[in-house]
Amino acid sequence: MIVVTSDHIEGKKITKTLGMVKGSTIRARHLGRDLTAGLRSIVGGEISEYTKLLAEAREEAIHRMVEQAEGMGANAILDTRLMTSMVMSGAAEILVYGTAVVVE
């Protein structure tokens, strides 16, 4: 599966547009990570606990989008976009969406 943020893939021709596909996940903070992150925010620097949490969430959302596209018969996803929103205090949704296509 080819997943790109552009509206085309160099050297490939779109033969069929199948429609929008999406994937999402909602992740909550973890108390243990919050304590470590709180200490790190005092001294400064990257809060690697949250970086890892969000990276895992993005990968899960992308995986779900790809599964949906494969189920439609796509072999590529164009115009891929990622969004995040706060669902409640301490929990965020990661949403990824794009256009499922067949390319050759």
Structural domain boundaries in the chain: 2-103
Tell me the pLDDT tens digit for each residue of 47-100: 777 888 889 999 999 999 999 999 999 999 999 999 999 888 778 899 999 999
Question: In this model, does residue 32 exceed pLDDT 60?
Answer: no
Per-chain mean pLDDT for the chain: 89
End-to-end Cα distance, the chain: 12
Per-residue pLDDT, 38: 63
Per-residue pLDDT, 33: 57
2-103 adopts what CATH topology? Translation Initiation Factor IF3 (3.30.110)
Tell me the pLDDT tens digit for each residue of 37-61: 566 567 677 777 788 888 999 999 9
Strand order in the sheet with 76-88: 2-3, 76-88, 91-103, 14-28
